[in-house]
Chains A and B, each alone.
Chain A
Amino acid sequence: MLTLPPHLADQLPDALGQAQRLMSRLTRQLELFGYLPLNTPLVEQADVFLIKAGDAAINRLVSFELNGQTLCLRPEFTAPAARVYIEHFQDHPGPVRLQFAGPILQYDSLSHGAITEQNAIGAELINEYSPAADAEVIALTVRLVEEAGISNWRVTVGHSGMIERFLDRYQLNRQMRRFVINHLSTLRQGAEGLAQTLEALASLEAPAATLTEAQPINNHLEAEAALYALLQAAPQHGPSGGRSREEIARRLLEKQQQGNQRDRVRHALRDLQQLLEQAVSPAALMAHLEDATLQVMAQHILATFSLLAAYGIPQDRIAFDLSFTRNLDYYTGLIFECHAAHEPGNLFGGGGRYDELIGLLGARHNVPAVGFMLYLNPLLAAQQPAPPEEPRDRIHVLVRPSEDRLIEEAIALASALRAAGIRVTTQSGPDAAWKGPHGETHLLMVEQAGLRLFQLANHTDLTLDRGDITGILRALELCS
């Protein structure tokens, strides 16, 4: 028997019904905030996601080659939203609010090779840079979580841009910068975390020996001379692999001068660990910053927090954590996640500010944006059982001709009943299960919640004039 690949699941009628009801309530909430619904294809060019995703996110991207193009399955909505904005809304003046819902697919992070599918809902507020926009998106996330019936939520807030800006002054290369960012959560554990991180740094492979001994280069002239010498030494033949000899020589020179990267990383790690220890709240963070840009960023966080109060979000439900990161490189500012209280692993969703992504994807100029996405499954887990349907909605009529020659009449009757808003299934051919209690065959039977309650008389007793179903409806009202 052919079965589904592991980790994928069918959505059976009851679960689907519940998911759809929840989804429509959430969608409605987003509409109340002015977010326009739209749909993007499940398959996109992989580059849309690759251009600014983090390592972990890229490893989970389900990509494949087709006709020379690398395509992938949608793992989230933000990158497609950025593409949609460029293609359809770029000329729209002012902020654009979009909402997305549907399945997202990626490789399972635990068992390599297995694909997981989840339903998610997200919203993006594009072309507005303000604490108000950030507060709106966080408040909206909370509103949706509460709409799903969850009251014990918490929000953790961090800031990608601050960490990046903080690391700028240490002049780390990309690899080292990535190392520091990947170890933020370890660093947050105080002196012990710092020791662990330094140990991890020591175990990183030592930089490969370079071709020539690095001589310290003290000024521009010396750099040019070294570059010239390298250019002379570089092979003149063979493929270039798309790089000029000068590019290669310049990078080689840079590499030679980077010998002291490790000291810089150690320095950065120590300073960062201290800052993380001090930054228990946006206000505390503010007090410990000297850099003007960092202060502006902290001010933005403070302003956002005070606006959240206006949305009725209690301050004790929001935790500030500068070491908090998300697996996506496109975030440039405030980032956040909403999860169950005392259960950070029970993640409902999250989001953040991404002011560069839309520009990188090809917009005419940089467009600031902020957005979030919520996973449906953890929200569904909090759902109460479906409310009882209206009595009339529960009626499910089975129209079944007792003889083949009556099938046309049966179809006409079914159509008339559907026009009256009644759920009807037609079934032809003999089926013992639908025989009456005395083995008699009927044209019409009525079910209620799976239980047959009422049987209409044999078709010969019915008025089957097309369109005239008043007698039947009366009978149905009686049984409901």
Chain B
Amino acid sequence: MTERVSLALPSKGLLAEPTLNFLKSCDLKVHQINPRQYTASIPALPQVDILFQRVSDIVYKVADGTIHMGITGLDVVMEHPSSQLLVIHDNLGYGFCELIVAVPESWLDVESMSDLVDISLDFREHKRRNLRIATKFTNLTRRFLHEHGLQHFTLVESEGALEAAPTLGYADVICDLTATGTTLRENHLKTLVDGVVLKSQTCLVANRTALETQPVVRRTAHILLELIDAALQGRDFYTVTANVRGASAEAVAALVAGNPLTRGLQGPTIAPIYTPDSLADEDHQWYTVTIMIRNSDLLATVEYLRSIGGVQTIVTPARYVFLGHSPSIERLERLLGT
């Protein structure tokens, strides 16, 4: 039984660099001796071998068990589903894009998929040919079109600049990934109101059998999920400390916890500050208040702390927030039926 765990990362493309940054933000810095090499290591996880692969190869190789785990796009996973390929974290928070159906801007009469169904029937009846759709994602596209009742079409499988297909004339419409829609607009294409096939982002996948039979793979998956969950949670929170004057720790606590903004995750931590004045004047002690707040509440929190006499408010990002349990690990164990 192997004691090594292989983890594949995108070798190039839009996900390559952000993946290295993401892992670094989880304290899992990838150590690559030479950027031309296709292997690397993560010093924090000595049992793991990093392999750089294309996003689609990561899906195939994790599905067939050649590689134990990988980080890749949800779009590629959904295009090539396999019972052996488990998505163990589907929300890594980067690499967002949508797989959409786009038609020429000049098709003023086409706004929804039901219009497109009508056009496909027109093509059949009047042009004696199928509507041609260029895509890299033939499985997802075919299923989506069928679900919308569009049956008469020919898929033109194509890699690369699909947006040009209608202009070049080898397809009528396209089904492609878009992050911002800029390329579509520049190529005089428009999306349909109900033409989103899939909303995708980066995900962590693993081979089911490897998870079930190799304890080291399961253990490594747990470590990764624990760190990822905590790091992603940490992104949403700040630790705020402020010095507040009050008659007692309880009085300060009542003020701070009295506002939902500054109640923190569980409640504030209040600690006395021992200044020369405070020793003399027992009624006016200084206390340090420590709370966790959501990023979005920062300015409102600072304002409230000021209003209750808070000074020297220090805000530090929370690197990790470990909850009572890792939701992703729980989900994984449920998936594996344990």
Chain A interfacial positions (CB closer than 8 Å to B): 47, 50-51, 53, 55, 58-59, 63, 65, 70, 173-175, 178, 205, 208-211, 230, 233-235, 237-243, 245, 247-249, 251-252, 255
Measured between beta carbons, the chain B residues less than 8 angstroms from A70 are 154-155
Give the Cβ gap from B56 to chain A, nearest Cβ, in Å.
Answer: 16
Measured between beta carbons, the chain A residues less than 8 angstroms from B119 are 243, 251
B225 within 8 A of partner (CB): no
Measured between beta carbons, the chain A residues less than 8 angstroms from B122 are 247, 251
Chain B interfacial positions (CB closer than 8 Å to A): 103-109, 111-112, 114-115, 117-119, 121-124, 127, 130, 132, 138, 142, 146, 149, 151-152, 154-155, 157, 166-167, 169, 172-173, 187-189, 193-194
- Known A173-B118, A175-B114; judge A240-B106 contact (CB<8 A): yes
A238 touches B154 (CB 8 A): no
Measured between beta carbons, the chain B residues less than 8 angstroms from A173 are 118
- Known A65-B157, A241-B107; judge A50-B152 contact (CB<8 A): yes
**How far, in angstroms, from A242 to B103 measured CA to CA in the complex?**
11
Give the Cβ gap from A62 to chain B, nearest Cβ, in Å.
Answer: 11
**Residue from the set B109, B122, B130, B187 with the largest chain A CB neighbour count within 10 Å:** B109
- The 7 closest A-B CB pairs, nearest first, are A238-B188, A239-B166, A252-B109, A241-B172, A241-B104, A208-B111, A58-B151
Q: Which residue of A lies closest to B163 (CB)?
A: A239
A234 touches B123 (CB 8 A): no
B157 touches A248 (CB 8 A): no
Interface SS, A side: mixed
Measured between beta carbons, the chain A residues less than 8 angstroms from B123 are 242
B109 touches A205 (CB 8 A): no
Measured between beta carbons, the chain B residues less than 8 angstroms from A50 are 151-152
A55 touches B167 (CB 8 A): no
A208 touches B193 (CB 8 A): yes
| Beyond known contacts A178-B149, A241-B107, A251-B109: 10 more, CB 8 A cutoff | A205-B114, A210-B109, A235-B188, A238-B106, A241-B104, A241-B173, A248-B108, A251-B119, A252-B108, A252-B109
Give the Cβ gap from A257 to chain B, nearest Cβ, in Å.
Answer: 12
A241 touches B166 (CB 8 A): yes
**How far, in angstroms, from A238 to B104 measured CA to CA in the complex?**
7
Residue from B108, B121, B154, B172 within 8 A of A230 (CB atoms): B108
**Residue from the set A50, A239, A242 with the largest chain B CB neighbour count within 10 Å:** A239
B193 touches A255 (CB 8 A): no
Q: Which residue of A lies closest to B113 (CB)?
A: A205
A239 touches B188 (CB 8 A): yes
Give the Cβ gap from A3 to chain B, nearest Cβ, in Å.
Answer: 12
Give the Cβ gap from B130 to chain A, nearest Cβ, in Å.
Answer: 8
B105 touches A235 (CB 8 A): yes
**How far, in angstroms, from A187 to B307 measured CA to CA in the complex?**
68
- Known A53-B151, A59-B146, A238-B167; judge A243-B107 contact (CB<8 A): yes
Ordered by A's residue number, 6 sampled pairs between the chains whose C-beta atoms are within 8 Å are A178-B149, A205-B112, A242-B132, A243-B172, A255-B109, A255-B115
Give the Cβ gap from A32 to chain B, nearest Cβ, in Å.
Answer: 39
Give the Cβ gap from B180 to chain A, nearest Cβ, in Å.
Answer: 19
Give the Cβ gap from B227 to chain A, nearest Cβ, in Å.
Answer: 34
Measured between beta carbons, the chain A residues less than 8 angstroms from B107 are 241, 243, 248
Q: Which residue of A lies closest to B146 (CB)?
A: A59
B108 touches A211 (CB 8 A): yes
**Residue from the set A63, A175, A242 with the largest chain B CB neighbour count within 10 Å:** A242
Residue from B111, B115, B167 within 8 A of A239 (CB atoms): B167
Q: Which residue of A lies closest to B118 (CB)?
A: A174
A175 touches B112 (CB 8 A): no
A242 touches B172 (CB 8 A): yes
B106 touches A235 (CB 8 A): yes
Measured between beta carbons, the chain B residues less than 8 angstroms from A53 are 151
Residue from A47, A65, A237, A248 within 8 A of B109 (CB atoms): A248
Measured between beta carbons, the chain A residues less than 8 angstroms from B188 are 235, 237-239
Give the Cβ gap from B259 to chain A, nearest Cβ, in Å.
Answer: 45
**How far, in angstroms, from A210 to B111 measured CA to CA in the complex?**
8
B121 touches A174 (CB 8 A): yes
**How far, in angstroms, from A248 to B124 measured CA to CA in the complex?**
16
Measured between beta carbons, the chain B residues less than 8 angstroms from A210 are 109, 111
B108 touches A234 (CB 8 A): yes
- Known A208-B112, A239-B189; judge A175-B106 contact (CB<8 A): no
A175 touches B152 (CB 8 A): no
**How far, in angstroms, from A205 to B112 measured CA to CA in the complex?**
10
- Known A174-B118, A238-B188, A239-B189; judge A245-B106 contact (CB<8 A): yes
Measured between beta carbons, the chain A residues less than 8 angstroms from B166 are 239-241
Q: Which residue of A lies closest to B190 (CB)?
A: A238
Measured between beta carbons, the chain B residues less than 8 angstroms from A241 are 103-104, 106-107, 166, 172-173
**How far, in angstroms, from A366 to B238 measured CA to CA in the complex?**
76
A242 touches B106 (CB 8 A): no
Q: Which residue of B lies closest to A59 (CB)?
A: B146
**How far, in angstroms, from A243 to B119 measured CA to CA in the complex?**
10
Q: Which residue of A lies closest to B106 (CB)?
A: A235
Measured between beta carbons, the chain B residues less than 8 angstroms from A237 are 188
**How far, in angstroms, from A47 to B124 measured CA to CA in the complex?**
11
Measured between beta carbons, the chain B residues less than 8 angstroms from A255 are 109, 115
**How far, in angstroms, from A175 to B150 measured CA to CA in the complex?**
11
**How far, in angstroms, from A70 to B142 measured CA to CA in the complex?**
12
Measured between beta carbons, the chain B residues less than 8 angstroms from A174 are 117-118, 121
Measured between beta carbons, the chain B residues less than 8 angstroms from A175 are 114, 117-118
Q: Which residue of A lies closest to B132 (CB)?
A: A242
Measured between beta carbons, the chain B residues less than 8 angstroms from A240 are 104, 106, 166
**How far, in angstroms, from A63 to B146 measured CA to CA in the complex?**
12
**How far, in angstroms, from A174 to B138 measured CA to CA in the complex?**
26
**How far, in angstroms, from A241 to B105 measured CA to CA in the complex?**
9
**How far, in angstroms, from A227 to B189 measured CA to CA in the complex?**
23
Residue from B132, B138, B173 within 8 A of A65 (CB atoms): B138
**How far, in angstroms, from A251 to B114 measured CA to CA in the complex?**
13
Measured between beta carbons, the chain A residues less than 8 angstroms from B152 are 50
Measured between beta carbons, the chain B residues less than 8 angstroms from A51 are 124
Measured between beta carbons, the chain A residues less than 8 angstroms from B106 are 234-235, 238-241, 243, 245, 248
**How far, in angstroms, from A211 to B111 measured CA to CA in the complex?**
10
A65 touches B155 (CB 8 A): yes
Give the Cβ gap from A448 to chain B, nearest Cβ, in Å.
Answer: 46
Q: Which residue of A lies closest to B121 (CB)?
A: A174
B151 touches A55 (CB 8 A): yes
